[in-house]
């Protein structure tokens, strides 16, 4: 039995600024978990409000493994960099079913917030 879905969409991407506190760095992260035995080839496509999508960002994930993709770091072989406070959606497409979640640490206020963004899977 396969566990997970092949497609995930997270619509509320909005990279917060890093902030001034060295203990906490504002960021967004995409967590990917492969609970199957087969290796997953995962493609990320970024969709924007006012420019063409960026695709061809790949992550390989062995079976029974998990990884964190920091969205504030350069992405993929081309080292694509998201802009701070740039609205985007990330579409995750995998060759085998996986589990995915998306979270944001926003430290713009004294009471910083870490929360996850609801995803749509199919």
**Entry pTM:** 0.91
* Helix ranges, 1-122 (H): none
Residue 121 CA, chain-centre distance (Å), reads 14
Across the chain, what does the average pLDDT equal? 91
pLDDT, tens only, 83-99: 988 999 999 999 999 99
pLDDT of 110: 65
Question: Is the Cβ–Cβ distance between 87 and 9 less than 8 Å?
Answer: no
Can you tell me the distance from the alpha carbon of 89 to that of 14, in angstroms, rounded to the nearest whole number?
9
């Amino acid at each position: 039995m396969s566990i997970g879905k092949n497609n995930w969409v997270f619509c509320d991407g909005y990279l917060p600024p890093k902030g001034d506190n060295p203990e906490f760095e504002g960021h967004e992260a995409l967590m990917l978990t492969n609970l199957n035995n087969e290796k997953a080839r995962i493609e990320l496509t970024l969709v924007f409000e006012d420019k063409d999508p960026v695709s061809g960002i790949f992550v390989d994930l062995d079976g029974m493994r998990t990884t964190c993709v920091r969205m504030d770091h350069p992405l993929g072989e081309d080292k694509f960099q998201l802009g701070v406070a740039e609205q985007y959606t990330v579409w995750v497409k995998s060759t085998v079913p996986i589990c995915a979640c998306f979270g944001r640490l926003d430290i713009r206020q004294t009471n910083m917030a870490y929360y996850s963004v609801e995803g749509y899977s199919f």
